[in-house]
Amino acid sequence: MLNCIGVITSGGDSPGMNAAARAVVRTALFEGIEVWGIQNGYRGILDDEMFKMERKDVSDIIQRGGTFLGTARCRRFMTPEGRAEAAAKLKEKGIEGLCVIGGDGSLRGASLLSAEQHIPIVGIPGTIDNDVWGSDYTIGCDTAANTIIDAINKLRDTASAHRRVVVVEVMGRKCGWLALTAGISGGAEYILVPEEEFDLDQISSEISEAYKKGKRYILVVVAEGAGSAVEIGKTIHEKTEIDTRVTVLGHIQRGGTPTIIDRVKASQLGEKAALALISGLTDLVFGFHKGSVVSINLHDAVTNKKILDKELFRLAKVLA
């Protein structure tokens, strides 16, 4: 049983991280446990940016995007020396275990901290990419997908008016979940993801044929890891001579007020993670599988690669 825990958000922020941190803090306080907030990711441990939290410190944040704790990607923490220093800083404050909210890189750092310094760790997957192995869901993916669909709806109006090809680039360096989900729900004709090969020659000739038959517009959703939408748009235009426009959505996808799904799921994960950590469990990631909260071994979560749902990809092709 631990008496004092810390909560940290790390890596790219995602909408719903605040709800998760709030749940960790309030669960700990409900259990009579001391809880510290760590600011600006792992760098905040090294730079002593940690403060003891009270209930009111997490008031008025559940509806906000970003993370009230701040986040960072910290190079110093990537070294064993940095992690040893971090462990010493945590001990100085009396923090006995950490609840880490972040994506695969942040969870990898957490796993190393646990293995090398024997600090109890539980993880909560927080990233818009939805690419953490073992969980069907990561905090923020629902809000980001909804942000993308809002943009796609608007782009369809203008694409249809002008009979244009529209190429939209969404986030996802290694994982095409956002592109696939937004592409299916946005009725995209083509969804290009890093996990699947595609042939731009063939796509271009299909687009030309579709236009000849009277198609008013074509929507292509590209995950950033599949290639540059600007280059893809240029190639399609050169090959088809159809007016083509490119939109790179960028960081707009990471912001905004979290959806109900992200708030509720983040709250559930925050509570379960805090309770596990307090009870002395370690090296677990709390996620969702088939609608229920599950715990995943931390090492497994960071060493396995999540596979994009092939069935969903097949469906996208059938419906295009």
Q: Judged by CB, which is closer to ligand F6P: 254, or 265? A: 254
Q: Which of 13, 104, 129, 142 is catalytic?
A: 129
Q: Is 243 one of the annotated active-site residues of the chain?
A: no
Closest CA to 166 of 100, 101, 217, 93: 217
User: Any idea what DSSP says for residue 139?
Assistant: B
For the bound state, the minimum distance from the C-beta of residue 140 to ligand F6P, rounded and expressed in Å, comes to 9
Q: Judged by CB, which is closer to ligand F6P: 145, or 277? A: 145
For the bound state, the minimum distance from the C-beta of residue 226 to ligand F6P, rounded and expressed in Å, comes to 12
For the bound state, the minimum distance from the C-beta of residue 225 to ligand F6P, rounded and expressed in Å, comes to 8
Q: What token pair was written down for 76?
A: 């110093």
User: Any idea what DSSP says for residue 254?
Assistant: G
Would you give the distance in Å from CA 247 to the centre of its chain?
21
Q: How far is CA 147 from CA 60, 138, 210, 256, 282, in A?
A: 22, 16, 28, 8, 35
Q: Judged by CB, which is closer to ligand F6P: 25, or 128? A: 128
In three-state secondary structure terms, 291 is coil
Q: What token pair was written down for 123?
A: 């993880």
- Between CA 214 and CA 225 the distance in angstroms is 32
Q: Judged by CB, which is closer to ligand F6P: 167, or 171? A: 171
For the bound state, the minimum distance from the C-beta of residue 251 to ligand F6P, rounded and expressed in Å, comes to 6
Binding site for ligand F6P (CB under 6 A): 12, 103, 127-129, 171-173, 224, 254
Active-site residue numbers? 129
